[in-house]
Amino acid sequence: MKKTLLVLIAFSILATTSLFALISGDAPVKGELPFLLTNAGQGPGGKMARLLIWQSKAIEETDFDYNAEPLRDNPDDLVARDYKMLFVIIGSSAKGLGASGITIEEEISRLNKMIAEAKELGLYIIAAHIEGKERRGNPGSADEQSIDAIAPYADYLIVVKSGNLDGKFTKIAQENNVPLTLIDNTIDFMEVIKQMFKSE
């Protein structure tokens, strides 16, 4: 009985949070399918984003692919399908880097190649920083290197407000004249996805 009550409370909180999801800054851009979802820095954000996209029910699971490390082993990762967008979730993790058996320097080198190829292919690049302050660090840290490798080259930015307290993403958006959507919490990422892929 207690377990059932806790589950009902959790669902109630989730529903209320989604209902009052706060989005500010620029309106979400119109999404295109299919897209490749990946992460920069080997943090857990990529898998978290994949789950939130599924839970949003805005698109089918077959409308996008998830690949944690494009171009690490296969040079054709970005052309596996007729992708329209590259959706990159930024955030580094020492545990994730260790599990992949690579250094942050090797990861940044891969990210540089990924961005260069995405630009050459004409993919629309979306950079999302959805884990907030937890995935920010001192200059030169793995988190900041991951941000610097992706965000300045994005066509659209999605950022949790607590990850932008120093205005870094605002500055990047202004310098590159790209839209920036700010969300209050990670769970609000679902609402951005719903707006991006809503039917006309």
Query: Cα dist. 56→35, 52, 168 in Å?
Result: 16, 6, 28
The percentage of residues in the chain with a pLDDT greater than 90, rounded to a whole number, is 82
Residue 76: is its pLDDT beyond 70? yes
Q: pLDDT at position 4, please?
A: 45
Identify the band that residue 7 occupies on the pLDDT scale cut at 50, 70 and 90.
Answer: very low
Q: pLDDT at position 121, please?
A: 98
Identify the band that residue 10 occupies on the pLDDT scale cut at 50, 70 and 90.
Answer: very low
Structural domains in the chain, CATH included, are: 23-196 (3.40.50)
How far from the centroid of its chain's Cα atoms is residue 58's Cα?
16
The percentage of residues in the chain with a pLDDT greater than 70, rounded to a whole number, is 89
Identify the band that residue 15 occupies on the pLDDT scale cut at 50, 70 and 90.
Answer: very low
Q: pLDDT at position 34, please?
A: 98
Q: Give the model confidence (pLDDT) of 112-138 as tens digits.
A: 999 999 999 999 999 999 999 999 999
Identify the band that residue 164 occupies on the pLDDT scale cut at 50, 70 and 90.
Answer: very high
- Give the C-alpha separation, 17 to 43, whole Å: 24
Q: pLDDT at position 200, please?
A: 57
Tokens standing for residue 109: 């080198």
Tokens standing for residue 72: 């690490």
Strand order in the sheet with 124-129: 23-25, 180-183, 156-160, 124-129, 85-90, 35-40, 64-66
- Give the C-alpha separation, 127 to 198, whole Å: 20
The 3-class secondary structure across the chain, one letter per residue, is CHHHHHHHHHHHHHHHHHHCCCEEECCCCCCCCCEEEEEECECCHHHHHHHHHHHHCCCCHHHEEECCCCCCCCCCHHHCCCCCEEEEEECECHHHHHHHCCCHHHHHHHHHHHHHHHHHHCCEEEEEECCHHHHCCCCCCHHHHHHHHHHHHCCEEEEEHHHCCCCHHHHHHHHHCCCEEEECCHHHHHHHHHHHCCCC
Q: Give the model confidence (pLDDT) of 178-195 as tens digits.
A: 999 999 999 999 999 999
Q: At residue 37, what is the residue type?
A: L
Q: pLDDT at position 20, please?
A: 55
Residue 93: is its pLDDT beyond 90? no
Q: pLDDT at position 9, please?
A: 42
Instruction: Indicate the pTM of the whole model.
Output: 0.88
- Give the C-alpha separation, 86 to 176, whole Å: 18
Residue 1: is its pLDDT beyond 80? no
Q: Is beta strand 180-183 parallel, antiparallel or unpaired with respect to 23-25?
A: antiparallel
Residue 197: is its pLDDT beyond 50? yes
